[in-house]
Amino acid sequence: MENQDRKTNINWFPGHMQKAKRQMMESLKLVDIVIEIRDARIPYSSENPMLLDIIGNKPRIIVLTKKDMADSDRTSQWLEYFKSNGLEAISVNSNSDDLKKIIPELVKKVLKEKIEKAKARGIRKKVLRAMVCGIPNAGKSTLINNIVRKKAAKVENRPGVTKQLQWIRLNEDVELLDTPGVLWPRFSDQRVAYNLALVGSLNDQVVDKDVIIAHAINHLYHNYPDILINRYDIKLDDNDDYIMILNKIASSKKIYTLNNQLDINKTIDFILTDVRNDKLKNVTWEFLDESNNG
């Protein structure tokens, strides 16, 4: 199958994201640690490359959300990569894991040396403050709501919902500063833009849907062919290309126009909805050896 590689100039930095970046920089002096939320399906693409410039030497934890949607073997490889580079990293299911226990323990683990030094100087116990940040739609608000057991952060399946900073008291030891999802101005790697658009972290007007789905089908064809076969009840051949597979899916699922022609546009929407609603199951959209991290 031929790789669908289209040249795309993608710029994305709405005004509220510029404001959020400025607020994060101003608030950084108030926190002890940064919790970076990434999507386990796209661990590299969901990193904000501006974040390190913003936080400097502040301690950082990486939390891969949506682990139940990703390929568990690939997630393990990513976690090992992060840890081999000296980063504390975990994967979680934001809807079901006991994050009210997991997150505070992790914060205290990473800040253990700082806590002990404070005790040695006779400084009374203080609340540890963590800034929670991540790109839009990475699962940050769902994670926070799980932790506090209530709807502290607004959740919608579209990018850029959280637009204000807010403090959330987790327990007597830890306080969280929730921040809006922030992207960066320009994507130098088109695969990053495609991955972000695929999982809904980029607005659908930024990248054409046919480009997104060409990218997705190419990845599935080469790495998860059984998912294409089983989900869409089709047969794959060695010489299949993106259009051939789209036609096979449209035919199998009986997606037609009013003129009884295969409706490719509706088929694209159908597949994109499958991806975002986790109908394909356990797919990681980028592998360690394919990314710039590898």
Read out DSSP for 203-236?
-TTTS-HHHHHHHHHHHHHHH-HHHHHHHHT---
Provide the pLDDT for residue 7. Answer: 40
Q: What is the C-alpha to C-alpha distance for residues 234 and 248, in angstroms, rounded to an integer? A: 6
CB atoms within 10 A of CB 60: 18
Strands 33-39 and 174-178: unpaired
Predicted model pTM: 0.85
Chunked mean pLDDT (size 10), the chain, 294 residues: 47 57 80 95 90 86 96 97 95 86 92 88 83 88 79 45 67 86 71 92 86 96 97 96 97 96 97 94 91 48
Q: What is the C-alpha to C-alpha distance for residues 125 and 123, in angstroms, rounded to an integer? A: 7
User: Directed axis angle between helix 190-198 and helix 209-223, to 10°?
Assistant: 90
Provide the pLDDT for residue 161. Answer: 41
| Sequence-distant (≥ 6) Cβ neighbours of residue 106 within 8 angstroms | 61, 88, 90
Provide the pLDDT for residue 164. Answer: 56
Provide the pLDDT for residue 77. Answer: 97
Distances (CA, A) of 24 to 19, 164, 167, 199: 9, 10, 13, 25
Q: What is the C-alpha to C-alpha distance for residues 92 and 74, in angstroms, rounded to an integer? A: 14
Q: What is the C-alpha to C-alpha distance for residues 46 and 192, in angstroms, rounded to an integer? A: 8
Q: Which two tokens stand for residue 224?
A: 């998860």
Provide the pLDDT for residue 172. Answer: 85
Contact 46, 135 (CB under 8 A): yes
Which residue in 86, 98, 91 sits closest to 71, CA to CA? 91
| Sequence-distant (≥ 6) Cβ neighbours of residue 30 within 8 angstroms | 129, 177
Q: Which two tokens stand for residue 290?
A: 């394919």
Provide the pLDDT for residue 244. Answer: 97
Strands 174-178 and 166-169: antiparallel
